[in-house]
Chains A and B, each alone.
Chain A
Amino acid sequence: MQFDFTRNYFELFDLEQRYAIDSDKLAACYQQLQSEYHPDRFVNADDQDRRLAIQVTTFINEAHDTLRDEQSRARYLLQLQGIPFDSDQDTTQDMEFLVAQMELREQIDEVDQHQEPLDRLDELASEARKQKNDLVQTYQQQYAAEDWEQAKETVLKMQFFARLQQQINTKQEILEDQLL
């Protein structure tokens, strides 16, 4: 089996290295690579090829997940430019942003007090989506302008929305379970 692990994720899927991507092409290329390297294709191969097939498809899945998601794609593009991320220490210092985040979180915690908590949650989710889309726009401009420091700041902010979305989903599921 031949596979080049040194290619970056964009090269792997034959995509241009930029923020806006052709998601149909990504999906098609992903399936094509899986068709070629999936462990199911190597059930009768020797041990080494079988192990390799797992490693290759793990790599392909990781690449696909990274490029498919707006936030992780943004972060990955900066990493390719040599911008380091340290999850223990990096965080945004923008107080105004942090206060707005805290308010959103409190509002999510308080949806139970609403008459129609699920509807209220939908409203908050849509508000969060709008704010995140603004960040995506901002990032796109900063990346195009090669303003790496500011772009990194934007990525760190996007991460808050990933966590926020998780909080919304969990809340939604708890509320749904209560309805049963």
Chain B
Amino acid sequence: MALLQISEPGMSTAPHEHRLAVGIDLGTTNSLVASVRSGVAEVLVDESGTALLPSVVHYSSDRDPQVGAQALEHTAADPLNTIASIKRVMGRSRQEIDSASEYVPFQFEQDNANVPRVKTAAGPRTAVEISAEILAALKARAEQSLGGDLVGAVITVPAYFDDSQRQATKDAATLAGVNVFRLLNEPTAAAIAYGLDQGAEGVIAVFDLGGGTFDISILRLRKGVFEVLATGGDSALGGDDFDQAIAQWWLQQSGLQAASDHQLMRSVLTAARQAKEALTAADQTTMQVALPDGDSVKQVLSREQFDGLIKGLVKKTTVACRRALRDAGIEKSDVTEVVMVGGSTRVPLVRKDVETFFGRSAHTGIDPDQVVAIGAAIQADILAGNKSGDEMLLLDVIPLSLGIETMGGLMEKIIDRNSTIPLARAQEFTTYKDGQSAMRIHVLQGERELVSDCRSLATFDLTGLPPLVAGAAKIRVTFQVDADGLLNVGAQEVNTGVAASIEVKPSYGLTDKEIETMLQDSMAHAKDDMEARSLREQQVEADRVVEAINAALEKDGRQLLNAAELAQITTSRDQLIDVRNQAGDPDQIKSAIKQLETISEEYVARRMNASVRSMMQGHKVEEFQP
């Protein structure tokens, strides 16, 4: 609109071309979004100034799902529709979830679907769909806060996530309409945040204990290149397990059974989490849990007792540290920095044991809850092309070995864990029957010898092989791992050059077709979203126009307009304000804006003349001639 375009000669109002990119930490308990603004990486907050978005989604039969703090409020009253800690089941099968001893705070549909679906009031939902709600909320926050569309995002995953867990995360982003530049390992993101902050050189150990996952990464930082030497951990170990340990203890102490009572179990877990957090500073705390019958039970828990409960879990983390050092081929004494990441590293026993293990004190300068998102934002800024890109480079590794099933149910490794990505390996297979034209290959991920101890990723059916005598056909299968750590497979018959076609059947993940169906389902939503968005845009535009006209009127309204003209403009302005606040239809706002603009046209013209006059005041006309 013309009113705003009166600017000082030679000054441009066009903003510097900056591609909006964010880093997203999609956590088990909390999620965050961060971005680089004016060269500084910072987390983006919501309207109330809060950075952490609880990774909780509440489903109801009569409205859209709620995400975050709003959803969290339903925990006590409606526990089964309030889905928390969904990250723990990302890319997991029903069987794996059931065999884990931990309590999962939601129920699954009793069906044989390939991908387990959580029962909700709004119908069955996969972990991918639930995570997509969280990602969509973060995307909306970012676009509101940055004032534009996102070009892309870097989403962090635990370094120890296997291929199906990574793929599930990427699928969730697709569903949420987030373009993924890169899946980045969480500890690597933390190292970026620290490394760039402190200009460090040397070997960094990043110890990352979050709500549900544990990672240890060993990196070498030299001249701006972060080279991940080794990574390890446990994708099902975190602060949630500490809560579980306290909750089990509480149940034992109070002689209650809660396994079947979701409401009580939730209350006990909430009290357990509060007790854990209190014990970071205090030596003892009182746990109070309200029972469904109205009574409440108190138990005093001391730091010492708590340490005893979690000792075994913490021990697991130091064993993983030892393993990672061994894989990296370095000694403890080579480590120059230890960085602590993740909320659970606030637990005193964790900090003490890790510092004892490495024999040095750990860095905790950046908020352990935010450091991962900040590192991801820095990487996103570079990948968006906002920097020249020379200052930093990441060389990451694949966390778990990849292999295939061979005779006798054994796993043959084709790609060793901790190999730098991207990478490719080829392996030749041969036929065992005359005229055999198809072959099935079972791809696995893991470290153990037996197929049953590894994780099944997918089966590939190679078809269209040239019919030859047994053993004559040689099929070269190429395994390519891209920079996100995701696997792609290709196959070719060596002698004839015939490319075998491959059909991928992910063992646990969603097929491309399923994702497509979900996307179509969400298209209906997308239409609502688009309307909501265009309404928001018109509201912002209306606010801008009102603000501009107010500023103009205050400056020179009385000089340039007579009383009738002034009244006409202010009436039209007030109409626009009313429409903006009441109308749910973007088109109505749009026409009110148009009306105000038309009525103000004469005023705008007079302002321009006045502005030209004032510019020329005290100057001769010739000065302005070329």
Contacts and interface: CB of A to CB of B under 8 A. Distances in A.
Interface of A: 31, 34-35, 38-41, 43-44, 54, 57-58, 61-62, 64-65, 169-170, 173, 176-177, 179-180
A34 B225 CA distance: 9
6 contacts: A31-B222, A34-B393, A41-B389, A169-B326, A170-B448, A176-B322
A180 B214 CA distance: 16
Given A43-B181, A58-B480, A170-B448, A65 B225 contact: no
B341 to A, nearest CB: 22
B422 interface: yes
Contact of B312 (A35, A41, A180): A180
A124 to B, nearest CB: 15
B323 A173 contact: yes
A64 B389 CA distance: 23
B419 A54 contact: no
Give the interface size class of chain B.
20 to 34
Contacts of B566: none
Nearest to A65: B419
A64 to B, nearest CB: 7
Contacts of A41: 389, 393
Contacts of B424: 58, 62
Contact of B422 (A39, A64, A169, A173): A39
Contacts of B223: 31
Nearest to A169: B326
Given A31-B223, A38-B395, A176 B323 contact: yes
A38 to B, nearest CB: 6
A65 B393 CA distance: 19
A12 B385 CA distance: 28
Contact of A39 (B225, B384, B447, B483): B483
Nearest to A28: B222
Contacts of B483: 39-40, 54
B572 interface: no
Given A31-B227, A54-B483, A170-B448, A44 B395 contact: no
B608 interface: no
Contacts of A35: 225, 390, 393
A34 B389 contact: no
B394 A40 contact: yes
A contact patch SS = helix
A39 B424 CA distance: 15
Interface in B373-408: 382-385, 389-390, 393-395
Interface of B: 181-182, 222-223, 225, 227, 312, 315-316, 319, 322-323, 326, 382-385, 389-390, 393-395, 419-424, 447-449, 480, 482-483
A180 B315 contact: yes
A44 B422 contact: no
Leading 9 A-B pairs by shortest Cβ distance: A44-B385, A31-B225, A43-B383, A58-B424, A61-B420, A39-B483, A61-B423, A54-B422, A58-B422
Contacts of A39: 422, 483
Contacts of B181: 43
Contacts of A38: 393, 395
Given A34-B225, A34-B395, A39-B483, 9 more contacts: A31-B225, A31-B227, A35-B393, A40-B389, A58-B480, A61-B421, A173-B323, A176-B323, A179-B319
A176 B319 contact: yes
A62 B478 CA distance: 14
Given A41-B389, A43-B181, A180-B315, A61 B323 contact: no
A43 B385 contact: yes
Nearest to B419: A65
A121 to B, nearest CB: 12
A64 B420 contact: yes
A40 B393 contact: yes
A57 B422 contact: yes
Nearest to B227: A31
Contacts of A40: 182, 382-383, 389, 393-394, 483
A54 B225 contact: no
Contacts of B395: 31, 34, 38
A171 to B, nearest CB: 11
Given A39-B422, A61-B420, A170-B447, A180 B480 contact: no
A100 to B, nearest CB: 23
Contacts of B222: 31
Contacts of B389: 40-41
A136 B225 CA distance: 32
A53 B223 CA distance: 21
Nearest to B394: A40
Most buried by A among B227, B419, B422, B480: B422
Given A39-B422, A65-B419, A173 B385 contact: no
B184 to A, nearest CB: 11
B449 A170 contact: yes
Contact of A61 (B312, B319, B419): B419
Nearest to A31: B225
Contacts of A54: 422, 480, 482-483
A44 to B, nearest CB: 4
Contacts of B322: 176
Contacts of B312: 180
A180 B312 CA distance: 7
Nearest to B448: A170
A39 to B, nearest CB: 5
